[in-house]
Amino acid sequence: MSYDKLPLEPLFKKIDELKPKFIERLRKAIAIPSVSSDETLRPRVVDMANFLKNELTTLGFHDIQMKDLGIQPPPVADPNLKLPPIVLGRFGNDASKKTVLVYGHYDVQPALKEDGWATDPFDMYHDEAKDILFGRGTTDDKGPVIGWLNVIEAHNELKWELPVNLVVCFEGMEESGSLGLEGLIAKEAKQYFSKVDTVCISDNYWLGTSKPVLTYGLRGCNYYQIIVNGPGADLHSGIFGGIVAEPMTDLIKVMSQLVDSTGKILIPGIDDMIAPLTDKEDALYDDIDFSVEELNAASGSKTSLHDNKKDILKHRWRYPSLSLHGIEGGFSGAGAKTVIPAKVIGKFSIRTVPDIDSAKLDQLVFDHVNKLNAQLNSPNTLKVELIHDGNYWVSNPFNEAFTAAAKATEDVWNIKPDFTREGGSIPITITFEKELGTDVLLLPMGRGDDGAHSINEKLNLSNYINGCKTLGGYLHYYGKS
Amino acid sequence: MSYDKLPLEPLFKKIDELKPKFIERLRKAIAIPSVSSDETLRPRVVDMANFLKNELTTLGFHDIQMKDLGIQPPPVADPNLKLPPIVLGRFGNDASKKTVLVYGHYDVQPALKEDGWATDPFDMYHDEAKDILFGRGTTDDKGPVIGWLNVIEAHNELKWELPVNLVVCFEGMEESGSLGLEGLIAKEAKQYFSKVDTVCISDNYWLGTSKPVLTYGLRGCNYYQIIVNGPGADLHSGIFGGIVAEPMTDLIKVMSQLVDSTGKILIPGIDDMIAPLTDKEDALYDDIDFSVEELNAASGSKTSLHDNKKDILKHRWRYPSLSLHGIEGGFSGAGAKTVIPAKVIGKFSIRTVPDIDSAKLDQLVFDHVNKLNAQLNSPNTLKVELIHDGNYWVSNPFNEAFTAAAKATEDVWNIKPDFTREGGSIPITITFEKELGTDVLLLPMGRGDDGAHSINEKLNLSNYINGCKTLGGYLHYYGKS
């Protein structure tokens, strides 16, 4: 890539200067155990929202709003439990500038020292030898959230004008299903978010540990269940084995014909919907920093279905997959139980990719399962149904936002970023795109080995500081585009 | 059947006369809640043992022993919990007579009025309109146990000599795995039980509700598990779906090729071991009182695999069956979870029949499963193993004990009994046969709809009283044989 570099060195230098202050700001955020799934810690989640409100106020944000989302729906222990607020704020309101919405979340996963943490998860530990910051939320997602505040502070210190209008949207329930967020986005699309030109989300990770990435695609997920009903109640296999049709037998037979051991989906018609692989897309995989060994390390096994990097990445990102998750209603305990289960429910899901039509996929699944069941000629009854679906997302990695982020990344890291997709889904991405009618950029700060939901979650200091530079640089390149 | 009838009318008349007393004796036994699975009720189980000891003493039994089985092994709440004793006793010790051992159990299943009982389960209710006795243990197994005592009382009243030596063996842990019984039988085989010629067990039921039966066979059960190991830990199906070999896929594929939806076992070689059906055996099924409708009523569905009585009975009694019980380690809860389980364990069992060799069956199962796994060519590891086995049991329904019991039944009920087998197992049957080297007769007292382990357990008064006559008559015909 060759491009006109912007004179961002003073900004980067200022960010380096402010490093001790930025570490302290993150330490204060980590110290608040804003665990959204623990009802007893809900007051601390609210403390975290107020912490952000104070920071935004101090930095000069305006129109700061703490959006009340009402009571948390069941199941909850406390029927009057309030959802934590969504924190909104603006920095700049210049009609001649573009407007960037940045999303992040201030709640975290649970963490207890006893889980196996080397240090207190809510007392951030700076390993100065390795320059790594350890603590719950360092990478997911307080590091990036605080990063945006740091960018504003650096501009304030430099007395630089921000090149865009910034809108922040920080939620406190991301780790617990983002309750209330979708409704708020829909409601504010034409109000608080009315002038937004693009959305930037920093809530995913580099593919590996050494090369920065920009993420332009996510797979979707359609989740199904097959319900087989037989006898009126569970039966004893001694008395009834061999004389009644067993629901487990039918279910296992049908489930065995959905996918094979090489990962090939056996439902006819799905392959026809997959967008063809172009030479241009194929070439994108060549330079991406990844290996079979990295997959094996991540899975803790040597169970890779593919023997080369490109096939692994394509099957993770741009081809569908089908996973059999389990069976409800069968004997699932340890040991032996001689039961003929009366009703069993098989669970499976299909990860979707362009250009799979979700409704058409459902129909192909239903037709295939019903055809298999008809072949069984069983007196049991079988029903297949969709539990939930979420669409795939793919953006244009050559649009203005990605181009701006790529330039900023190269300025900071002296390397072109990899353009990656992810196998999983981040539902809020599609919500923003749909409700606001804008592009979305996924601009990760942390590394693939940060252990977002594990013990000893960490953020390398270089990722934190260079991440702040990249976020800031992105705003400048995007503002000029 | 034509046979020389013995002059048993005085005995049958005496039993009819004593009916009120026999009802009272059973009422006293039912009033003791000897629930072996409830540790807090253990003292009442011991009370029940003492009740029997007193009855035996009063009736003139000798050499009564309360066999101490020591401490109950874990899991138990009270580490010092004592097992209830096995009650042994003798009536008669005449070297010129044959010796019959009768086995029964004095413990019962749990029962609470709140479970849905129409009356207090431990306060026996005599429905005089229908002449039915309701209460926990009426049919399983206090009715038969008390029945043997009633037989002695009738002889005493008549001042008749018992035609055999009787040995009783009453245990108090049958509903909780018969802990300690097998060891005791082995230990006493050459001691307390040294002169036993035959064993009679009254602890099963008529096939239906109107025709008495004698039971000469039980299926065995070999229980297996297939363990598939893949990734080092559960994985997210978004990130790893399509790029790692999934243990569930392999397991489901293998489990789908063990049995088909018609109940046909797909493991080669098993059919070759099944004893051929002779014309004589085939004819036995003709007169047995059973119907497809009875099966449907029992299973609460119309899922019968066979459309006629004889095929149903043969597949319940004399052909093997394979049931898939469930999967351990997969997602087995309600709703949706996008997990790739790292380790899954499939459970299945095969009901065995003559002349299946248990060890050879294991080998056929292992070979088949391992061959299927090899065909998958999966990087996951699969292991198949036996969890436990129990052999089938078949006796000769034309031997002396069965012939004697058949004559007594016809004397009492004016109909020839059906000769039945059962699909399930009663392990103690095989233990007695093996350790004592004698035949075993299963001589049921109750009906197929008595609800042994359910609410409103009952014993029809006619079964109780005619059952006592049958037990007594059996001793006389056996003594003369």
What is the tens place of the pLDDT at every residue in B140-161? 999 999 999 999 999 999 999 9
User: For residue A439, what pLDDT band results from cuts at 50, 70 and 90?
Assistant: very high
Rounded mean pLDDT of B385-412? 95
B351 contacts on A by Cβ (under 8 Å): 237-238, 241-242
- Please give the pLDDT value at position B336: 87
Tell how far CA A426 is from the center of its chain: 4
DSSP helix/strand/coil, B388: strand
- Please give the pLDDT value at position B155: 98
Confirm if B47 and B32 have CB atoms less than 8 A apart: yes
Contact call for A299 and B244, based on CB within 8 A: yes
> Would you give the end-to-end CA distance of chain B in angstroms?
16
Q: Which of A298, A324, A377 sits opposite B249 (nearest CB)?
A: A324
A250 touches chain B (CB under 8 A): yes
Contact call for A334 and B328, based on CB within 8 A: yes
A143-154 pLDDT, tens digit per residue, is 999 999 999 999
Do β-strands B99-105 and B165-171 pair in parallel, antiparallel, or remain unpaired? parallel
d(CA A274, CA A222): 15
Four-point Cα dihedral B452, B454, B458, B464, nearest 10: 0
Measured between alpha carbons, how far is residue A117 from residues A29, A30, A123 in Å? 18, 15, 11
d(CA B219, CA B426): 9
Angle CA B21–B26–B29, to nearest 5: 130
Rounded mean pLDDT of A337-357? 96
- Please give the pLDDT value at position A75: 84
CA closest to A381 among chain B residues: B303
DSSP string of B84-134, one letter each residue: PPEEEEEE---TTS-EEEEEEE--B----GGGT-SS-TTS-EEETTTTEEE
Tell me the CATH number for domain B8-218+393-480. 3.40.630.10
Contact call for B260 and A241, based on CB within 8 A: no
Q: Which of B304, B321, B378 sits opposite A261 (nearest CB)?
A: B378
Residue type, position B18, single letter: L
- Please give the pLDDT value at position B453: 84
- Please give the pLDDT value at position B337: 87
A261 touches chain B (CB under 8 A): yes
pTM of the model as a whole: 0.88
B353 contacts on A by Cβ (under 8 Å): none
Contact call for A312 and B239, based on CB within 8 A: no
DSSP helix/strand/coil, B214: strand
- Please give the pLDDT value at position A281: 87
d(CA B317, CA B282): 12
d(CA B381, CA B250): 10
Binding residues of A: 105, 140, 175, 203, 236, 338, 351, 425, 453
DSSP helix/strand/coil, B278: coil
Q: Which helix (H) or strand (E) holds B369?
A: helix B358-376
Confirm if A172 and A84 have CB atoms less than 8 A apart: yes
B413 touches chain A (CB under 8 A): no
Contact call for B238 and A315, based on CB within 8 A: no
Q: Is the peptide bond before B355 cis (omega within 30 degrees of 0)?
A: yes
Binding residues of A for Mn(2+): 105, 140, 175, 203, 453
Confirm if B86 and B163 have CB atoms less than 8 A apart: no
Q: Which of B241, B325, B336 sits opposite A423 (nearest CB)?
A: B241
Tell me the nearest-neighbour CA distance from A280 into chain B, angstroms: 23
Mean pLDDT rounded to a whole number for chain A: 96
Return all residues near A5 (Cβ < 8 A) that are at least 6 apart.
A407, A411
User: For residue A311, what pLDDT band results from cuts at 50, 70 and 90?
Assistant: very high
Backbone angles phi, psi at B201, to 5 degrees: -120, 125
β-sheet bridge partners, residue A223: A349, A388
Return all residues near A471 (Cβ < 8 A) that are at least 6 apart.
A102, A144, A147, A148, A151, A200, A202, A408, A443, A445
The alpha carbon dihedral of A275, A277, A279, A280 has a sign of positive
CA proximity to B402, closest of B220, B213, B218? B213
B173-218 pLDDT, tens digit per residue, is 999 889 999 999 999 999 999 999 999 999 999 998 899 999 999 9
Q: Which residue, chain included where needed, has tokens 């197929």?
A: B448
A355-397 pLDDT, tens digit per residue, is 999 999 999 999 999 999 999 999 999 999 999 999 999 999 9
Confirm if B350 and B321 have CB atoms less than 8 A apart: yes
Select the more confidently predicted residue: A234 or A465: A465
Q: Which residue, chain included where needed, has tokens 């129909």?
A: A363
Confirm if A369 and A278 have CB atoms less than 8 A apart: no
Q: Which two tokens stand for residue A291?
A: 């290996």
User: For residue A74, what pLDDT band results from cuts at 50, 70 and 90?
Assistant: confident
Tell me the nearest-neighbour CA distance from A249 into chain B, angstroms: 6
Tell me the nearest-neighbour CA distance from A334 into chain B, angstroms: 7
- Report the 10 Å Cβ neighbour count for B81: 13
Residues within 8 A of A (CB atoms), B 226-245 only: 230-233, 235-245
Predicted confidence (pLDDT) at residue B61 exceeds the cutoff of 90: yes
Angle subtended by helix axes A247-255 and A358-376, to nearest 10: 130
B261-274 pLDDT, tens digit per residue, is 999 999 999 999 99
DSSP helix/strand/coil, B382: strand
B62-91 pLDDT, tens digit per residue, is 999 999 999 999 888 899 999 999 999 999
* Secondary structure of chain A in HEC code, one letter for each residue: CCCCCCCCHHHHHHHHHCHHHHHHHHHHHHCCCCECCCHHHHHHHHHHHHHHHHHHHHHCCEEEEEECCCECCCCCCCCCCECCCEEEEEECCCCCCCEEEEEEECCECCCCHHHCCCCCCCCCEEECCCCEEECCCCCCCHHHHHHHHHHHHHHHHHCCCCCCEEEEEEECCHHHCCCCHHHHHHHHCCCCCCCCCEEEECCCECCCCCCCEEEEEECEEEEEEEEEECCCCCEEHHHHCCCECCHHHHHHHHHCCCECCCCCECCCCHHHHCCCCCHHHHHHCCCCCCCHHHHHHHHCCCCECCCCHHHHHHHHHCCCEEEEEEEECCCCCCCCCCEECCEEEEEEEEEECCCCCHHHHHHHHHHHHHHHHHHHCCCCEEEEEEEEEECCEECCCCCHHHHHHHHHHHHHHCCCCEEEEECCCCHHHHHHHHHHCCEEEECCCECCCCCCCCCCCEEEHHHHHHHHHHHHHHHHHHHHC
Classify residue B223 by its DSSP letter.
Answer: E
d(CA A370, CA A347): 15
d(CA B401, CA B365): 37
For chain A, which residues make up each domain, given as ranges?
Answer: 8-218+393-480, 222-274+319-390
Predicted confidence (pLDDT) at residue A2 exceeds the cutoff of 80: no
Number of helices followed by number of strands (H, E) in chain B: 15, 18
Confirm if B166 and B90 have CB atoms less than 8 A apart: yes
d(CA B388, CA B409): 37
Tell how far CA B160 is from the center of its chain: 33
Residue B378 is labelled as binding a ligand? no
Highest mean pLDDT, choosing among A110-114, A256-260, B235-239, B387-391: A256-260
Q: Which helix (H) or strand (E) holds B305?
A: none
| Exposure string for A52-85, b = 16+ CB within 10 A, e = fewer | bbebbeebebeeeeebebeebeeeeeeeeeebbb
d(CA A351, CA A357): 12
Predicted confidence (pLDDT) at residue B18 exceeds the cutoff of 60: yes
Residue B425 is labelled as binding a ligand? yes
Q: Which of B299, B326, B331 sits opposite A325 (nearest CB)?
A: B331
A455 touches chain B (CB under 8 A): no
CA closest to B257 among chain A residues: A253
CA proximity to A227, closest of A366, A389, A375? A366
Q: Which two tokens stand for residue B346?
A: 């499939």
Note the ipTM here: 0.88
The alpha carbon dihedral of A406, A410, A416, A417 has a sign of negative
- Please give the pLDDT value at position B461: 98
The alpha carbon dihedral of B321, B325, B330, B333 has a sign of positive
CATH class of segment(s) B222-274+319-390: alpha beta
Q: Which of B262, B298, B326 sits opposite A332 (nearest CB)?
A: B326
A326 touches chain B (CB under 8 A): yes
- Please give the pLDDT value at position A177: 87
- Please give the pLDDT value at position A454: 86
Tell me the nearest-neighbour CA distance from A167 into chain B, angstroms: 30
Q: Which helix (H) or strand (E) holds B312?
A: helix B309-317
